Copies of this chain bind each other. A is one copy, B any other.
Amino acid sequence: MLKRYLPIINWLSVYNRHALASDMVAAIIVTIMLIPQSLAYAMLAGLPPEVGLYASILPLLTYTLFGTSRTLSVGPVAVISLMTAAAVGNLALEGSSEYLVAAIALAFISGMMLVVMGLLKLGILANFLSHPVISGFITASGLLIAASQLQHLLGISASGHNLLDILQAVAANIQNTNLLTLAIGGSAVWFLFWSRKGFAPLLTRCGLSPHVAALVSKTGPVLAVISSILVVWAADLAQQGVHIVGSIPAGLPAFTLPHFDSEHWQQLLVSALFISLVGFVESVSVAQTLAAKRRQRIEPNQELIGLGAANIGSALAGGFPVTGGFSRSVVNFDAGAQTPAAGAFTALGIALAALFLTPLLFFLPQATLAATIIVAVLSLIDLGAIKRTWQYSRSDFSAMLVTILLTLTQGVEMGIIAGVSLSLLLFLHRTSTPHSAVVGLVPGTEHFRNIDRHQVITLPHLVTLRMDESLYFANARHLEDRIYALIVQQPSVKHLILMCPAVNLIDASALESLEAINHRLEDSGVMFHLSEMKGPVMDRLQKSHFLEQLSGQVFLSQFEAWQALQTAPGAQHQAPS
């Protein structure tokens, strides 16, 4: 029981020097990655930079206690920061103290929701976010985020609530572009893109092993930060209109209880739910991918508790919503992290940074942070997924497209709501008009196949319909229509067999329909039979009175039904059609 809710017990008891060494190496590399990311994502969320650091200490420690993934790196991530900005921006003005209070409350509410969902084993709720919807949402968010950073890259003021607003604001103010800012931001973007592809090969040529070179190349963002700080400081560019981060308070975050305001909290509930679900889905999918590579397992409902604890931790330290990040977790894994202790060591690294490094960040240009964000989020935009979905399924594609368009034009929450609703409607639509086939006997076998596709034997007094879907309220009437149409078309029919090998469920509505079909066929002088019913479905039918009322029989196999009914009065073989 304790092991279930405190997974740390499982690995701490077997922790050894080898794991310690591996975890520490991974922690150093992740810390170097996380410092600029935490500052940048705080800026993206509309918060002071130190809040990003605060959200990268306590959450990592609490996740270490409660999380089940060995390699997940928890902390601020781009999409959740965008969602935070959207949610909090509705309630307070960016830069105001109410804004920070609302962001902290959001992290707290989201954390509580995740913990409650975990305790109630509601991880299943995340299944409502279908893959096309999540993928479309992430792509659209990436576009929105990249667009929102253009103002920092250009040194102008241009924000908005949707893509069009942002681009219009940029176009209207582009003549105010600060060329020095653009030069710094542009070179940072170029360097960061280059460092992803070209840094590692360069380091290999300098004699590093490919593995070490790949890890060292992850320091690209930190190098960009250091060099741009040096340039701004040396050339005194802050005086020439280059926006800098400025003074960041040094020290560890103070322990704060979130300020309770029932009206504000109610307004944040829906946003907190979406942030929780999106964060959970993203986090679990990367955790699962990494766990499978080492034949480890994660426990989704305990992950909810782990991520919930991380968000509550973030709130108590004055931070904003966090989750498991994709790129940092992959780096953590590749750097050899063995246990969640790597996360605890990363927290230690960020704590040291908060204590001692903040004065050095005074001259950090905002354009460099914007460049970090842009390069990070452009990798979220997955046009390949859009194309693959288009090729695979038009209905999945339409859910994806609606999500993308509504996220870009109406905001993140409308995008998700519309995408989820449309996926559900499309699924219901698909199952409400299921595939079905009239089947006949394949000569010389006991197999029955679609009369439209195969040469089969049929009998004039007997028709068999195979339904390829569970029978439930959304398709119950379709079934009735299909059967009545069949009977009207073939007045010679005296026996109708419903063949059910693919029927996994018959709900109360479908049962009523079967009863209605039975009565109506009886009124028309047709006997109604069932064949190849599954065990659990039969068990349930036996709880109703349907089987007593059934005018015909229930046959275990379709061939048995055929044999029993072919000798019925008036039966005559027809040549294969």
Name A residues whose Cβ lies closer than 8 Å to a Cβ of B: 124, 126-132, 284-285, 288-289, 291-293, 295-297, 300, 388-389, 391-393, 395-397, 400, 423-424, 427-435, 468-470, 472-478, 480-481, 484-485, 487-488, 491, 501-502, 504-505, 507-509, 511-513, 516, 519-521, 523-524, 534, 536, 540, 543-545
A122 to chain B, nearest CB (A): 11
Determine whether the beta carbon of A488 is less than 8 Å from that of B295.
yes
Q: Are A392 and B543 in contact (CB under 8 A)?
A: yes
The listed residue (B288, B296, B520) touching A480 by CB distance below 8 A is: B288
A297 touches B485 (CB 8 A): yes
C-alpha gap A435/B537 in the complex (Å): 11
Alpha-carbon distance between A434 and B127 when the two chains are bound, in angstroms: 13
Q: What does DSSP make chain A's interface, helix, strand, loop or mixed?
A: helix
Given contacts A124-B432, A126-B477, A392-B540, 7 further A-B contacts (CB under 8 A): A127-B478, A130-B507, A285-B516, A292-B484, A427-B472, A501-B502, A502-B504
Q: Which of chain B's residues have a CB closer than 8 A to the CB of A291?
A: 484
Residues of B within 8 A of A293 (CB): 520, 523-524
- Least CB distance from A460 to B in Å reads 17
Q: Give every chain B residue within 8 A of A470 (Cβ-Cβ).
A: 431, 469
Interface pair B507/A544, CB less than 8 Å apart: no
A397, closest chain B residue (CB) = B508
- Write out the residue numbers on chain B whose beta carbons fall within 8 Å of the beta carbon of A505: 430-431
Asked if B124 and A433 make an inter-chain contact with CB atoms under 8 angstroms apart, the answer reads yes
> A132's contact among B469, B508, B519, by CB below 8 Å, is which?
B508
* Contact among B126, B474, B484, B521 with A128 in the assembled complex (CB-CB below 8 Å): B474
Please pick, from B127, B132, B292, B434, the residue contacting A477 in the complex, using a CB distance under 8 A. Answer: B127
Query: Please, which residues of chain B bring their CB within 8 A of the CB of A540?
Result: 392-393
Complex: A428 Cα to B130 Cα, angstroms: 12
- Assess whether A504 is in contact with B468, with CB atoms less than 8 Å apart: yes
CA separation between A502 and B501, bound complex, in Å?
A: 7
A283 to B487, CA, bound (A): 22
On whether the beta carbons of A292 and B524 are closer than 8 Å, the reply is: yes
Contacts of A472 in B (CB 8 A): 130, 427
Contact B431 A516, beta carbon cutoff 8 Å: no
Cβ-defined contact, B473 with A508, below 8 A:
no
**A512 contact set on B, CB distance < 8 A:** 131
Q: Which residues of B contact A392 (CB under 8 A)?
A: 508, 511, 540, 543-544
* B520 in contact with A131 (CB, 8 Å): no
A485 proximity list for chain B (CB < 8 A): 297
Q: Give the CA-CA distance A435 to B539 in the complex, in Å.
A: 14
Contacting pair A504 B543 (CB below 8 A): no
Q: Is the CB of A504 within 8 A of B474?
A: no
A296 to B513, CA, bound (A): 17
Which 9 residue pairs spanning A and B have beta carbons closest together? A292-B520, A130-B473, A131-B509, A396-B508, A127-B474, A130-B509, A131-B512, A293-B523, A295-B524
Chain B residue, CB-CB nearest to A488: B297
Complex: how many Å from CA A501 to CA B468? 10
- What is the bound-complex CA distance between A293 and B127, given in angstroms? 44
